[in-house]
Structure formats: C-alpha cells, structure tokens
Amino acid sequence: AQSVTQPDIHITVSEGASLELRCNYSYGATPYLFWYVQSPGQGLQLLLKYFSGDTLVQGIKGFEAEFKRSQSSFNLRKPSVHWSDAAEYFCAARSGGYNKLIFGAGTRLAVHP
C-alpha cells in the first residue's frame, strides 16, 4: 500500500541551528512529493514540492528538500532555524494528479532560544 513515513514525532533544536526532517515514501513509482507546514491554529501552507528534474528543490521561508530515489526519501532541511519555524511539518505524496494526497504523521518542531 502507498504510504508516507515521518520517523520523528518531535524534534527540538536551538535557534540558529540547522534542521533536517526526515520523510520516506512507499510507492510503486516516484510520486509527486510535498512538504507542508501547519502553525498553531492555522491551516496548511505548502513549503515546496518535487515532481521531477533537479533533486534539490528550494521552497519558501529558506527551506529546501532533497529527493533521493535510492533511499525513497525526501528530507526537509534548513541551515538556520528561527523561532518562528516552530510548527508541525507534514510530508505528503501523490502518485498522480488524479490520485489522493497521502500525508505522513507529521513532525512537531520546537525551537529553543
């Protein structure tokens, strides 16, 4: 069955430190891949997406993600975390435009001053 796995439920980093959030997918073929962020009391905002081509994609708010086919991974990174980055991050995948978007369980990020 198609699935998206985020192994880390909670991550805490210090402000200014680097960040990497892990995401693995299980699909028959490479799906469309996405990262969304949900701030407290807010809806979901799309950070970035991967469809094909360059395996390193840039997103908003200084985030980037790297697609690795051999590892079935799409990890999210940020070189220097800001306190405002504290939120819930969801990795998601979709096998095609007419198929449903499947979400991972989410990773809650806390940022210490």
Partner 1 sequence: SAVISQKPSRDICQRGTSLTIQCQVDSQVTMMFWYRQQPGQSLTLIATANQGSEATYESGFVIDKFPISRPNLTFSTLTVSNMSPEDSSIYLCSVEGAGGPRTGELFFGEGSRLTVL
Residue of 28, 40, 53, 97 that binds partner 1 (CB under 8 A): 97
User: In this structure, how many other beta carbons lie within 10 angstroms of the beta carbon of residue 82?
Assistant: 12
What lies within 8 Å, CB to CB, of 82 at 6+ separation is: 15, 111
- The footprint of partner 1 on this chain (CB under 8 A) covers a number of residues equal to 21
What phi-psi label fits residue 74: left (phi over 0), alpha (psi between -120 and 50 degrees) or beta? beta
CB of 21 to partner 1, least distance (A): 14
- Using the contact rule CB under 8 A, the part of the chain among 10-18, 19-27, 56-64, 102-110 near partner 1 is 102-110
Residue of 34, 63, 67, 74 that binds partner 1 (CB under 8 A): 34
Nearer Cβ to partner 1 (15/101): 101
Nearer Cβ to partner 1 (78/94): 94
Q: Which of 102, 64, 106 is nearest to 88 (CA)?
A: 106
